[in-house]
Structure 1
Amino acid sequence: MRLADGIAILPLFLTAVSATGAIHLKGGTIIAYNKQAKGLKIIRGGSVVVEKDSITGVYDSPPSRLPPGTETVDVTGKIITPGFIDTHRHGWQTVFKTMASNTTLIEFFGRYSSFVAPFFWNATDVYDSQLAGLYEALNAGVTTSLDHATSTWSKDAADAGLQASIDSGARVFYAFTFANITGLITVDELHPVFRQLAKKPSLKTSPTELGIAYDGWGPNPNVPEINKMMALAKELKVSVITTHSLQGPWGFSNSPEDIHALNYLNISIPIVFSHASFLTPAGADLLRSTNQYISITPESEMHYGQGHPVSYNIQDQASLGIDTHITFSTDILTQARIWLQQTRYERYLDVLEQNKLPGSNPMSAEQAFLLATRNGALALRRDDLGAIMVGAKADLLVWDGNSPALLGWVDPVAAVMLHASVGDLEGVMVDGKWVKKGGKLVAKGYPDARTKFLKTARRLQAVWKAMPLPEVPAEFNGNPVVHPPRVDVVRGPGDGYGNIYL
Structure 2
Amino acid sequence: MRRLPLSLTAITLANLGIPLTNAACTLLQGGTIISFDEASQTPLILRNLSLLVTNDRIASIFPSCSSRVPPQTTTINVTAKIPSPGDDHAHGTFSRETAGAYFNGTVDSSAGVFWCYSIHDIGSGSTVKEQIDDFKLKDQLLSRRETITTLEIAYDGSSSSSLDEIQTVMELARESNISVPSFLNNTPFPIIFSHGSFMTAQDAILLRQTNQYLSMTPESEMHYGHTHPHGFLIQDQASLGIDTRFTYSADMVTQARLWLRSTRLFLFSQVLVQDWEIPQLNPMSVKQAFHSITRSRALALRRNDLGVLVEGVKADIVLFDGDSPNMLGWEDPSENIMRAVRSGFLDSARRIQGLMAVPELTGTSPFGVPFGMPRREDAVRGDQDGY
Identify the residue that residue 70 of structure 1 maps to in structure 2. Answer: 73
Question: Is 2:29–2:76's contact at 8 Å kept on the other side of the alignment?
Answer: yes
Gaps of 5+ in 2: 6-15, 343-387
Q: How far, CA to CA, are the matches of 1:203 and 1:184 in structure 2?
A: 29
**2:272 counterpart of 1:331:** no
Deviation per CA, 1:404-457: give whole Å up to 9, x if none. Answer: 433332222222211269xxxxxxxxxxxxxxxxxxxxxxxxxxxxxxxxxxxx
**2:106 counterpart of 1:165:** yes
Aligned-partner SS, 2:181:
strand
Identify the residue that residue 44 of structure 1 maps to in structure 2. Answer: 47
Question: Is 1:81–1:398's contact at 8 Å kept on the other side of the alignment?
Answer: yes
Question: Is 1:173–1:208's contact at 8 Å kept on the other side of the alignment?
Answer: yes
| TM norm structure 2 | 0.78
Identify the residue that residue 206 of structure 2 maps to in structure 1. Answer: 286
Q: CA deviation at 1:40?
A: 1.8
Aligned-partner SS, 1:242:
coil
Partner amino acid, structure 1, of 2:294: T
Q: How far, CA to CA, are the matches of 1:326 and 1:185 in structure 2?
A: 20
Partner amino acid, structure 2, of 1:13: L
Identify the residue that residue 279 of structure 2 maps to in structure 1. Answer: 358
Partner amino acid, structure 1, of 2:295: R
Aligned-partner SS, 1:200:
helix
Question: Is 2:264–2:284's contact at 8 Å kept on the other side of the alignment?
Answer: yes
Q: CA deviation at 1:189?
A: 3.7
Q: How far, CA to CA, are the matches of 2:157 and 2:2 in structure 1?
A: 53
**2:28 counterpart of 1:12:** no
Moved more, 67-76 or 273-282: 67-76
TM-aligned CA distance change 1:66 to 1:413, over 3 Å = same
Moved more, 282-291 or 54-63: 54-63
Partner amino acid, structure 2, of 1:346: F
Question: Is 1:291–1:317's contact at 8 Å kept on the other side of the alignment?
Answer: yes
Question: Is 1:55–1:390's contact at 8 Å kept on the other side of the alignment?
Answer: yes
Identical counterparts, % of pairs? 42
Identify the residue that residue 416 of structure 1 maps to in structure 2. Answer: 337
| TM norm structure 1 | 0.61
Aligned-partner SS, 1:226:
helix
Q: How far, CA to CA, are the matches of 2:79 and 2:120 in structure 1?
A: 50
CA RMSD of aligned residues (A): 2.4
TM-aligned CA distance change 1:387 to 1:203, over 3 Å = farther
Q: How far, CA to CA, are the matches of 1:357 and 1:201 in structure 2?
A: 55
Deviation per CA, 1:65-108: give whole Å up to 9, x if none. Answer: 2121112233233322112x3xxxxxxxxxxxxxxxxxxxxxxx
Gaps of 5+ in 1: 1-9, 86-143, 244-253, 422-502
Aligned-partner SS, 1:175:
strand
Moved more, 289-298 or 156-165: 156-165
Moved more, 300-309 or 168-177: 168-177
Q: How far, CA to CA, are the matches of 1:201 and 1:357 in structure 2?
A: 55
Q: How far, CA to CA, are the matches of 2:142 and 2:289 in structure 1?
A: 38
Question: Is 1:295–1:319's contact at 8 Å kept on the other side of the alignment?
Answer: yes
**2:192 counterpart of 1:272:** yes
Q: CA deviation at 1:380?
A: 1.4
Q: CA deviation at 1:403?
A: 3.7
Q: CA deviation at 1:17?
A: 4.6
Identify the residue that residue 198 of structure 1 maps to in structure 2. Answer: 139
Q: CA deviation at 1:64?
A: 3.4
Q: How far, CA to CA, are the matches of 2:144 and 2:152 in structure 1?
A: 12
**2:163 counterpart of 1:223:** yes
Q: CA deviation at 1:181?
A: 4.2
Q: CA deviation at 1:293?
A: 1.0
Partner amino acid, structure 1, of 2:128: V
Question: Is 2:190–2:302's contact at 8 Å kept on the other side of the alignment?
Answer: yes
Q: Of residues 391, 398, 406 in structure 1, which corresponds to 2:319? A: 398
Q: How far, CA to CA, are the matches of 2:144 and 2:150 in structure 1?
A: 7
Question: Is 1:340–1:365's contact at 8 Å kept on the other side of the alignment?
Answer: yes
**2:180 counterpart of 1:237:** no
User: What aligned pairs does 1:26-175 form with structure 2 within 5 A after superposition?
Assistant: 26-83=29-86, 85=87, 144-145=88-89, 147-151=90-94, 153-154=95-96, 156-175=97-116
Identify the residue that residue 130 of structure 1 maps to in structure 2. Answer: none
Question: Is 1:77–1:402's contact at 8 Å kept on the other side of the alignment?
Answer: yes
Aligned-partner SS, 1:30:
strand
TM-aligned CA distance change 1:324 to 1:296, over 3 Å = same
Question: Is 1:24–1:47's contact at 8 Å kept on the other side of the alignment?
Answer: yes
Partner amino acid, structure 1, of 2:293: A
Partner amino acid, structure 1, of 2:242: I
Q: How far, CA to CA, are the matches of 1:70 and 1:375 in structure 2?
A: 32
Partner amino acid, structure 1, of 2:177: K
Q: CA deviation at 1:318?
A: 1.1
Q: How far, CA to CA, are the matches of 1:418 and 1:287 in structure 2?
A: 30
TM-aligned CA distance change 1:195 to 1:396, over 3 Å = closer
Identify the residue that residue 459 of structure 1 maps to in structure 2. Answer: none
Identify the residue that residue 346 of structure 2 maps to in structure 1. Answer: none
Aligned-partner SS, 1:312:
helix
